[in-house]
Amino acid sequence: MPESLNIVDLITQASLLVQIVMALLLLASLLSWVIIFRMSARLGTAKNFDQQFETWFWSGEDLAKLYQGVQGSPERQGLEQIFYVGFSEYLRMHKKRQPKDDIIDGVERKLRVGLGRQQQLLESGLTTLASIGSVAPYVGLFGTVWGIMNAFLGLSQSEQATLATVAPGIAEALIATAMGLFAAIPAVLAYNHFTAKSSRLYDSRALFCDEMTGMLQRETSIENPQPSTQVSQVNQGTQVKSTQVTGL
């Protein structure tokens, strides 16, 4: 490539506005890659945590004991946190001797809230990726149009109109388009990929919520309207801790 068309030289010789456009596109590209790496790690961690908790949940251990184990976890997330808020509501309403239908409705509401909050945390960054993917090409096109306009303005002031005269200006303008695509394409691909992965996790968690609701419905069935022995022990343990704190 001739030295006159060196990419670095073209960028440094571009007009101030085109350089600003290129700098913005470079920052957008860097930001999108940071989000991509973070979301990749976050989704992978969330999937592993959910699989581990589901294995624990379906191991046959009593729900009350499972709740006590989750209660002591310093950093609850994913299915663990969803289970915690749902079963906490179950214990609270059982303690108040609420009717079965009210208990199940309350648990379902808490599970939906917990599911929604966990999904918001999971999808953090997707909006930025979508914005970069949709806006970056147009920003690059704006820089290209401006650069080509300057190139033709310079051509009109030249005594002899040749390709060598206009080529550098057009080349520097096209670099802006290339940078816009360079920022947009990975962002769009990552957005589609992460949206699909987060949707699969959401479906899996929603199915877990339905299964947990069914288990709690059996727990509060007409044949057994009172909390199970294990659940009662959890409530009693909570009351004992409260009494000890009051005594102190």
What's the confidence (pLDDT) of residue 156? 66
- pLDDT value at 242 more than 50: no
pTM over 0.85: no
What's the confidence (pLDDT) of residue 153? 75
Angle (CA) 81-67-106 rounded to 5° is: 65
Domain ranges of the chain: 14-239
pLDDT band per the 50, 70, 90 thresholds, residue 173: confident
Q: What is the DSSP letter of 4?
A: G
Instruction: Report whether 110 contacts 89 (CB < 8 A).
Output: yes
- pLDDT value at 39 more than 90: yes
The percentage of the chain sitting over the pLDDT mark of 90, rounded to a whole number, equals 44
Q: What is the pLDDT of residues 129-163, one digit of tens each?
A: 999 999 999 999 998 888 888 777 766 666 666 66
Instruction: Extract the tokens encoding 248.
Output: 């102190």
Alpha-carbon dihedral 80, 82, 87, 92, rounded to 10 degrees: 130
Q: Average pLDDT for residues 112-117, to the nearest whole number?
A: 93
CB atoms within 10 A of CB 131: 14
Q: Average pLDDT for residues 46-67, to the nearest whole number?
A: 88
pLDDT-wise least confident of 111-120, 191-200, 222-231: 222-231
| Environment class of 242 (CB within 10 Å of its CB; exposed 0-12, middle 13-18, buried 19+) | exposed
Instruction: Report whether 186 contacts 36 (CB < 8 A).
Output: yes
Q: What is the pLDDT of residues 8-34, one digit of tens each?
A: 777 777 778 888 988 999 999 999 999
CA distance 40 to 189: 13
- pLDDT value at 84 more than 80: yes
pLDDT band per the 50, 70, 90 thresholds, residue 165: low
Tokens 């096109």 belong to which residue? 141
> Comparing C-alpha atoms, which of 207, 219, 217, 220 is closest to residue 54?
207
Q: Average pLDDT for residues 41-51, to the nearest whole number?
A: 93
Q: What is the DSSP letter of 228?
A: P
CA distance 95 to 247: 22
